[in-house]
Amino acid sequence: MRPRTLALAALALLVALAALPAGSVPAEGRPPPEAVCGVCGETFEEAGDAAGVPLTVESSALRVRVGDDGVGTWTARVELDGESAATFRENPEQLDRVARRTFDDYRVFTDDRQGLETRMDGDTAVVTFEVPGMAYRGYGDVLVVDYFHDDEVSGTVYVDADRFVVTGPEESALLTAPPGTRTNETAAVWSADDGDPSSVGSQTYLTFGPDAGLATTAAAYASLAADSGPGVLTNVAWVAFVPTLVLTIGVLLIRHFDRRFDGDRGARRFGPVVAGLGVLWGLCLLVVRAFSGSVAAMAWLLALQLVALGVVSAVRPKALGFRRLVAATVGPQVALAVATAVAMPGPNPWFSLSALALEAAVVLFLPLGYAARRGGSTRPLSLAIVAAPVTFALPLVPFGGYGVLFVGILLVVWVLVTLATGSLVYRLGWALGGESARGHADDSTRATA
């Protein structure tokens, strides 16, 4: 690699880092946060105090059911202290006035409420209303809830209820939901008890369908892509540009210094190093208790691959040719990604694709080093590694609630870890290529003799 190429890449990285804050910070200040419920927490208590009815919210739950016509029925159940509950039972009009004052005087996410009704159920205040136009019909009879989605920069929508649940029409199945949101077959749940996200992301989509089959799920993703196409491209560009550039520079640097690897340090020395990396990765997974989900399954596979490839390289280095290395690195990853996407329950089967992109990029350094040592074509492998940030971001960013900045920082950290690990894996591949070359040279010498 020419020094001029590396200098240009470094300059591009500096320009990107300098421009990133300007593009990620809005020109005007963010508006104050808005409550998703309004009558489920402190704002309701403050409105009660202002109306001369001191009250304490003991617990609260907000449930939204989106109907086939796209109209959402919002039901808030707020358990109150005994004194204020008795006051509202004796004077139901007072409860109605406090609820309406909460919505009028405080920042609440819903500003298009219709048919507001209030009543008492024992010590529980029940507030119901309807919100039209929360969803529309997409492809394949899929109901797309885009009410919480906003491509423009907006303030935080925080969950002021102890439990916030969104469901679709009766007997419908939840197909997609924001990353990090707890889900079941029919509902998306934000729950303070389980440490779920305390806010609803501005890129939140929910989709519901008549069933959870592959065809219906594909129709859901097609509907989301059609709805948020321009936003998808913009978000992916912001999230993946800097990580991709850093990863490109890292791969170029590794390739630039590979000629310094020549020497007596072969696969038998670097095999245990890579196996040790796999053991270390497995210990990290144990510490964080990664025992469920498609992402955890892919992560454990990466640990097993590093251990297995390191051990085989140390014991029988000449048994690993280029084709076997490619098959051993890519084959299990693709097979497990497909299996987990199909078999494991959940509204986001494409998370397996994101995990595949990140973890395959690490092990692909092995055949890359082998091909570089043997003088083979390295461009396809390099492109596959460099494309990992974009492949990872596509399923997450358009439909997620994490936010562009969080995912971008996460990817930069992953790139640095990948380059540190990949350089050692690349070194093992380089050593395996040298073992193969020496093996062919010995065979030629014996044939000549």
User: How many other CB atoms sit within 10 Å of the CB of residue 21?
Assistant: 9
Residue 112 — φ and ψ, nearest 5°? -125, 45
Distance, C-alpha 40 to centroid of its chain: 29
Total Cβ atoms within 10 A of residue 128: 16
Q: Are 161 and 35 in contact (CB under 8 A)?
A: no
pLDDT in tens, the chain (449 residues): 445 554 555 455 445 444 444 444 444 455 678 899 999 989 999 999 998 888 999 999 999 999 999 999 999 999 999 999 999 999 999 999 999 999 999 989 998 899 999 999 999 999 999 999 999 999 988 999 999 887 665 567 888 899 999 999 998 999 888 876 788 889 999 887 655 557 887 778 899 999 888 788 888 888 887 777 666 677 777 788 888 899 999 998 888 876 665 554 566 788 899 999 999 999 999 998 888 777 888 889 999 999 999 898 888 888 788 898 999 999 998 998 888 877 765 555 667 788 888 889 999 999 998 998 888 888 899 999 999 888 887 766 554 445 677 778 888 899 999 999 999 999 888 888 877 655 544 443 343 33
Q: Sign of the C-alpha dihedral, residues 4, 6, 10, 12?
A: positive
Q: What is residue 439's predicted lDDT score, i.e. its pLDDT?
A: 52
CA 44 vs CA 41, 94, 103, 121, 433: distances in Å: 6, 13, 9, 17, 69
Strand partners, 135: 145
Q: What is the pLDDT of residue 157?
A: 84
pTM of this structure: 0.64
Closest CA to 145 of 50, 74, 241: 74
Strands in 187-191's sheet, in edge-to-edge order, are: 114-121, 124-131, 72-80, 57-66, 163-167, 187-191, 182-183
**Whole-number pLDDT of residue 17:** 47
